[in-house]
Structure 1
Amino acid sequence: MYDLIVIGGGAAGFYGAIHVAELRPDMKILILEQGKQVLGKVKVSGGGRCNVTHAQFNPSLLVQAYPRGEKELRGPFNSYHPKHTVEFFNRRGIALKVEEDGRMFPKSNSSQTIIDCFMDAVSSSGIELKRNSGVVNIIPAEEKSIEDRRWEVQTKTQTYHTRNLLLATGSSMKMWNVLRRLGHNIIDPVPSLFTFNIKDPRIDGIPGLSLHARVELIARDIPGKNITGAIKTRSIKSETLVTEGPLLITHWGLSGPAVLKLSSWGARILHDYNYRFRIQVNWMPDYHQQGMYSFLMEVKNIEAKKTAYRTCPVDIPRRLWGKLVVASEILPDQKWADLSKKQLQALAAQLTASEFLVEGKSTFKEEFVTAGGVDLKEINFKTFGSRMHEGLYFAGEVLNIDALTGGYNFQSAWSGAYLAAMAISEN
């Protein structure tokens, strides 16, 4: 018999268990993990450095990083946000550092620092941890009174009883099926945060180039769906999905924050497209097509005797410039003075409105994030408790909450686990 069983030995599960143990040392707590290893995503996050959170301490701005969960997380982030996460680790002697893009890592640059912190806290708090204990069924209590409430948790080999349950099982289809049997609605999961597979001579052979660009999904109708009005963006008032930021050319296509943002905000749309769609890239986001054409006309007059291929008048990598010049049907030895209006217009279009066909996706590094999970309408976000079952709580990716890359997914896990821990401790 336990006071709390946490199902899932990941970031959210450990964080919740540790806080309950701190608040209520008298409570008997058990963490059940289905695999041999715990804290797997912590280990690979940030390329092995663990992107703990993001240095955005304004809750109103912080929620804007969540395509799913923005509205629901406003209250929780006012109660517990990155400042509190930093304090949690500081109290344990772990200093965090802020990088230029706002991501926060342990100063050790090692995810093992965070893993050791959690393992030490679990050990010193007397929390039990059982590996290789995948849950196959959960039977809710029939009793209605708080004093008599018992949950039955079944693994393949054991049966446990507890007053409270915290589910932090991530994107586990098995546990989502268990929750369906409990009456919860599960939003079908689809991938989020992925890179685009593109085969195109304009970016072939130049991997590693990075620049600031704007990426736009070229909307098209698909059976039974109308894209118009289906996607809203924050920075640009448009009926298409547009993101802007660093763009990275890779061996397989395009990546970087601009692409990852688009994949996250458009996760369900792109899934409906079966990951075959067109995007438009503006390599010079400060210019529109006509403005770029006018600028190139000025360059033509100033650099008349020079060859266009070798003279790059804009702030993009020279190797990319050469590719775009060739794509505009400009000869390598053709001088600016000899460029026709048609060629200049084609070059302006390549610089500000290059269209690419995306044919598939690739997982971003070793991190895998999904859009989907427990329907947010069924959660009380003051406690992260189930509206259907008393004593049942959730934290992390088991919910239909996901975020952009940069430590935001961890932060929603920390905040949810903390508020659930507070509610469990007071219950």
Structure 2
Amino acid sequence: MTNYDIIIIGGGAAGFFTAINAAEMKPGLKILILERGKEVLTKVRISGGGRCNVTHAEFVPKELTRNYPRGEKELRGPFHSFMTGDTIGWFADRGIELKTEEDGRMFPVSDSSETIINCFLSEAERLKIQVLKNHSVKKLGKQENKWIVETSKGDFSAGKVMMATGSNPKIWKLLEGLGHSIVPAVPSLFTFNIKDVRIKGLAGISTYAEVKVKGEKLESDGPLLITHWGLSGPGILKLSAWGARELFARNYQFQVEVNWLPGSDPEAMLENLKQLKLEQAKQKVAKYAHFELPKRLWQSLVRASAIKEDDIWADLTKAQLRNLSLQLTKAEFQVNGKSTFKEEFVTAGGVELKEVNFKTFESKLQPGLFLAGEVLNIDAITGGFNFQNAWTGGYLAAKAMTE
């Protein structure tokens, strides 16, 4: 059995970040990364559509934590020690410049996740970190003061072990065996499947809107994208993250209310429409879009309000005006099921957060066992936040393991 100082289980973002930082903080440590798959860093490769959304341009810890439906309270302390600015600096020190896009997401200037992967691989090589692929962990236990890690291809021992395995049910089972509680995993970032005549044929249209789930205290706003199968975009993904458990409990059958004109309500909208009726009396209602709505969406909502193609404003009845004001500000849609957002499969669930010391990311139940990334019950909305959690946890765990 080969003995190491630190064994990291999981060759993903959190695993590599921990290993590299630990090796730099205390040169000469014998560090091993065990990966069950035939490739390492696979999630890094596909993230951000292959561009790798490294972090998010938010520099206030409290504001940053607001993007974590699970982990908001726990990450506040860690983010005071290592967050966005530190991430940017860390990559800059290794010759990788990041750029910020309009929505705050940060990517390598190269626009390629390979830049990040190559950085991790070359750093691991430079620091003599051993990486073993196709090593699936079967058992984890303690003998005297050593952790024994049994894998499909041999056994290893170390004084300290880090779990950076993401949402891996087998590893959660092992951790349960060590006394940890696991919050059951449910999907977190997903889009809504909706079949509705009002959005049929409008795939590709995007507009800023507010969305509420009826019967729940769940609402969000943001760009809404109409797709071939329903609704997507940041506004929907945010809602799916915050409502991960509630929507799972409803088996993804629920109603949403969309306000296509955020901040507007049916009564105020009715007054606006009456004004239009006076000002545009002879115009066809469907001909020109109002309130800066995409034209095809406007026409679809006009049709849904029982207004015909050739109807002019002057001829609209009270009922038609009221219909239109409701379609614009309180359009109800039935959701039947969900679809995964791109290949980025994020889950809510994992190790119960009360069982982890967030100053060090060490288990409170098992000294010498550390946990970072999505193995914990922490997840975020889309935009680089899940990676920032991995970098922060990896950095603080590395610090604790080498002190």
| TM-score of the aligned structures, taking structure 1 as reference length | 0.93
Q: Which residue of 2 aligns with 1:292?
A: 269
Matches within 5 A, 1:129-168: 129-141=131-143, 143=144, 149-168=145-164
Which residue identity is paired with 2:60?
A: N
1:98-113 residue pairs with structure 2 within 5 A?
Answer: 98-113=100-115
The partner residue of 2:369 within 392, 400, 403 is 392
Secondary structure (helix, strand or coil) at the match of 2:74 reads: coil
Query: Which deviates further from its counterpart, 305-314 or 378-387?
Result: 305-314
Do 1:267 and 1:371's aligned partners in 2 also have CA atoms closer than 8 Å? yes
Superposed CA RMSD:
0.7
Which residue of the other structure, out of 296, 308, 312, is the alignment partner of 1:331?
308
Structure 1 equivalent of residue 234 of structure 2? 257
Return the offset for 1:315: 1.1
The corresponding residue for 1:194 is 190
Task: Choose which of 335, 340, 347 in structure 2 pairs with 1:363.
Answer: 340
Q: Which residue of 2 aligns with 1:182?
A: 178
| CA deviation string 1:125-174 (max 9, x = no partner) | 00000000010110123x3xxxxx10000012301111000000000000
Q: C-alpha separation between the residues in 2 aligned to 1:36 and 1:354? A: 48
Q: In 1, Cα distance between the equivalents of 2:142 and 2:198?
A: 58
Is the Cα contact below 8 Å between 1:299 and 1:313 reproduced in 2? no
**Is the Cα–Cα contact under 8 Å of residues 290 and 298 in structure 2 kept in the other structure?**
no
The offset of 1:311, in angstroms, is 2.6
| Superposition deviation, residue 26 in structure 1 | 1.5
Letter in 2 for 1:173: P
Superposition deviation, residue 282 in structure 1: 0.2
Displacement of 1:250: 0.7
Q: Which residue number in structure 2 is paired with residue 351 of structure 1?
A: 328
SS state of the match for residue 406, structure 1? coil
Q: Percent identity?
A: 56
Residue type of the partner of 2:397? A
4+ residue stretches of structure 1 with deviation over 6 A?
none
Correspondence 1:274-289 to 2 at 5 A: 274-289=251-266
Aligned residue type for 1:381? F
Q: Structure 1, residues 203-228: CA drift from partner, whole Å, max 9, x if none?
A: 11011111110000101xxxxxxx5x
Structure 1 residue 366 displacement after superposition: 1.1
Q: Which runs of 5+ in 1 are unaligned?
A: 144-148, 220-226, 228-239
Q: Which residue of 2 aligns with 1:304?
A: 281
Q: Deviations over 1:168-218 (max 9, x none)?
A: 000000000000111100000000011111100111101111111000010
CA distance in 2, matches of 1:78, 1:47: 30
Decide which of 43, 59, 63 is 1:61's aligned counterpart. Answer: 63
- The Cα shift of 1:312 comes to 2.0
Structure 2: distance between partners of 1:64 and 1:415: 16
CA contact (8 A) 2:205 2:226 kept: yes
Q: Structure 2: 5+ residue runs without aligned partners?
A: none
Counterpart CA distance in 1 for 2:147 and 2:333 is 53
> Secondary structure of the equivalent of 1:89?
helix
The structural deviation recorded for 1:286 is 2.7
Cα distance in structure 1, aligned partners of 2:286 and 2:95: 56
